[in-house]
Amino acid sequence: MANRKKLYEGKAKILYKGPRPGTLVQYFKDDATAFNNEKRGVITGKGVLNNTISEYMMTRLTEIGITTHFIERLNMREQLIKEVEIIPIEVVVRNIAAGQICKRLGLDEGQPLPRSLVEYYYKADELGDPLISDEHVTAFGWASHQELEEIVAVTLRVNDFLSGIFLGIGVRLIDFKLEFGRLFTDDNVQIVLADEISPDNCRLWDIKTNEKLDKDRFRRDLGGEREAYQDIARRLGVLPEMGN
C-alpha cells in the first residue's frame, strides 16, 4: 500500500493503481461530507463498514446478471475493481419523498411517490451537482441515447432488487444514488455499475420505527451514525469483527 500510486482522491474514497492493467484499488475512508462538502466530519469505522456492505450488494447484483466494476474485497478497507471511464452523471432513484425533492417540490418527508422516479445530476462539485434532464445528458454527450436507456433499465432492476433485499432485513429503501462507467474490452464498450452501494448513498429507514439508518444521521446531526451503519451490516450478516 505504501508505494502505490494514488490516482484520485474523492470525499469518501481513494483510487490507487491496481496490481494488473485495467484494475484499480478502491480505498474506503472514514471521512463524511454532506451538502456538497459544506459539512465535514469523520464516522469512525465507516470505511470498513461501507467496504463490506458494498461488496455484499455488488456481489448479489452480479448474481442476477448485472455487470459491476467489483472484482473482490482485498482487506478491511480496500477492494479490487475494474478500471472504467466514469460517466459524469449521478443517477438517483426515489421511492419515497425525502431530502432534496421535499424542498424542491414542497413534499412531506415519508410521502410515497406516485411511482419510482429516476433523476440525473451532473457530477460537478464546483456547480453543486445540479439536477439535469436526459436532454442535457445526451445533448452534451455525457452519455448516448442508447447508453442512457441501458443505464435506466439497469437502475430500475437495481431498485427492485435492492428494495427486496432491504425489505428482507426490515428496512425500507427510500432513495439511492448510482454511478456508471464504460468498460473497454478489445473493441467492445460495456456499461457497468461503478462506485459503491452503502448507507452513504442510500436512504434506509427501519420498516417499523422509520428510524434513519444512513448518512442522514450525519447530515442532520442525529448522532449514532456508526451504530446505524453497523446495524445495516449486522442485518445483512456482514458485520466485520472489528468495526474500525
Footprint on this chain of ligand TMP (rule: CB under 6 A): 90, 92, 99-101, 129, 175-177, 201-203
Instruction: CB nearer to ligand TMP: give 16 or 120.
Output: 120
Q: Minimal distance in Å, beta carbon 176 to ligand TMP?
A: 5
Q: What is the distance of C-alpha 101 from the center of its chain?
A: 18
The Cα–Cα gap between 237 and 244 comes to 17
Give the nearer residue to ligand TMP in terms of CB position, either 18 or 181. Answer: 181
Nearest residue (CB) to ligand TMP, 49 versus 202: 202
Asked if 184 and 191 count as a contact pair (C-beta separation under 8 A), the reply is: no
CA dihedral in degrees (224, 229, 234, 238; nearest 10)? -150
Report which residue's Cβ sits closest to ligand TMP. Answer: 99
Pick the closer one to ligand TMP by CB: 74 or 165.
165
Residue 89 has φ and ψ, to the nearest 5°, of -130, 135
Query: Minimum distance from CB of 53 to ligand TMP (Å)?
Result: 14
For the chain, count helices (H), then strands (E): 6, 15
Cβ 42 to ligand TMP shortest distance, Å: 18
**Residues contacting 128, CB < 8 A, separation 6+:** 36
Minimum Å gap between C-beta 241 and ligand TMP is: 27
